[in-house]
Structure 1
Amino acid sequence: MDEKTAELRDIFIDATGSDTVTESQEETRGSLTEDGTGAGERLAEIIGTMRDKYSFVSELDDDDLQEVVERFYDGETDADIADALGTDEETVFNARMDLHLVRADDREAPFPLDDLRALLVEEAPLDERAEVLGADESVVTHYTEVVEADLESTRANDRFRDEFEELLTDSALTNRMARDAREDGLHDATEDIETDVSF
């Protein structure tokens, strides 16, 4: 190879840490447990604390719950997460509620959630809640989980939800910035190099 090509190759290796230009088209998903920052360990600690403090409905183990949290903050739907874990959407929903991971659309109920919240505070039984709200018991049960998750989170000053968000957002931002820096570095380094291509 000529001098310019060799120089470009060296810059590529410095920027990417690899001398391989092409990679497998199959994209593997990263995990906080593999990033070496201790974020995965902290995430596991938070989940363990929540399991000790609250009665979890979900039967998923802590490793699966950790994946639920990570994928939730990746913006995946319950269906996406269920497919990844080999389970169903209801199991993922229950896991999210256990972990106080309530989405805005989870609160879109066919009745005022404030009314359900008041009934829960009064410790009204399910059949009474369903009658007062004019909804099926299965629907009331679903939104009861949402309200209870919000109530638990509020009583904890949103501590766990905030910790998840800070941990996952920081990690995602760090990884994105590192990737952007590598890409920018490679672009800037090669921008001024003239290459002659002859056919």
Structure 2
Amino acid sequence: MDEQTEELRDLFVETTGEESVTEGQTAERGDLADATTPEDADERVRELIARMRERYAFESGLDDEALGRVVTGFYADESDAEIADAVDADEATVFLARADLHLIRDSDRDAPFPLDDLRALIVDDVPMDERADRLDVRGSDASASQTEADASVAADAEATVEHYSQVVEADRRSTRANDRFTDEFADLLTDADLRESHTGDAHQSGLEEAAEDIETNTQL
């Protein structure tokens, strides 16, 4: 304990008469630093996934162990291709798993039409094929043409709208849950990464802030 810390401690004891509180707080900070091991984080991630499965209808078909790997891969900034290799699935399945788990990337929202327009159609419960028409994804003549080529264009348009509809629906589910699950995933995996030193670039700023907090607490 340096001189400044000692003076602050003496002032606190003199003011409150509660020396034991200071000692308890010091112990608690130590406990928090060691609260979540990587193994504990993995277990709690699976518990969160189980809770989500009870609440939502999952579409990917992956089991909870594979879904746990999807979560850790997402927060490690792995691509869907990398995650797909790790769980022995294809990228489309990984995307569905991420949507099931509310794990949407900013790049997932780069739609060829305004997502706000799609959200409005979803709220109005407009059928998928009609969404493509209203968003003009098929082009001006594709919906009226009966040729094989134009039918393929229409199918591709519906697939595109369905993909971004899944993005919007995942965001809506997350918002209704107050982003609780994604926040808990992030908290758990950030804690684990602090101890494992495997944090990706997406977590770097958060780690720097944590380090500043630790330094401030040490000085106090």
Length-normalised TM-score, structure 2: 0.63
Please tell me whether the aligned partners of residues 38 and 196 of structure 2 are also in contact (alpha carbons under 8 angstroms): no
Whole-Å Cα distance in 2 between the matches of residues 101 and 94 of structure 1?
10
Name the residue aligned to 2:145.
none
Q: Match for 1:62: what amino acid?
A: D
Q: Match for 1:107: what amino acid?
A: R
Alignment of 1:110-121 (within 5 A): 110-121=112-123
Q: Match for 2:64: what amino acid?
A: D
Unaligned runs of 5+ residues in structure 1 are 1-33, 178-199
Whole-Å Cα distance in 1 between the matches of residues 192 and 127 of structure 2?
42
Whole-Å Cα distance in 2 between the matches of residues 124 and 172 of structure 1?
43
Name the residue aligned to 2:185.
164
Whole-Å Cα distance in 1 between the matches of residues 177 and 185 of structure 2?
13
Whole-Å Cα distance in 2 between the matches of residues 35 and 146 of structure 1?
29
- Per-residue CA distance 1:82-134 (angstroms, 9 max, x = gap): 11112100000000000000000000000000000000000111011111011
1:56 and 2:54 are equivalent in the alignment: no
Instruction: Choose from 113, 129, 132 the match for 1:130.
Output: 132
1:175 and 2:196 are equivalent in the alignment: yes
RMSD of aligned residue pairs (Cα, Å): 1.3
Kindly state the Cα deviation for residue 41 of structure 1 after the two structures are TM-superposed: 1.6
SS in 2 for 1:60: coil
Kindly state the Cα deviation for residue 170 of structure 1 after the two structures are TM-superposed: 1.2
Name the residue aligned to 2:173.
152
Length-normalised TM-score, structure 1: 0.70
Q: Provide the aligned length of Structure 1 versus Structure 2.
A: 143
% same residue: 57
Whole-Å Cα distance in 1 between the matches of residues 105 and 38 of structure 2?
27
Name the residue aligned to 1:139.
160
Moved over 4 A (4+): none
Unaligned runs of 5+ residues in structure 2 are 1-36, 138-156, 199-220
Q: Match for 1:143: what amino acid?
A: Y
Alignment of 1:24-63 (within 5 A): 35-36=38-39, 38-63=40-65
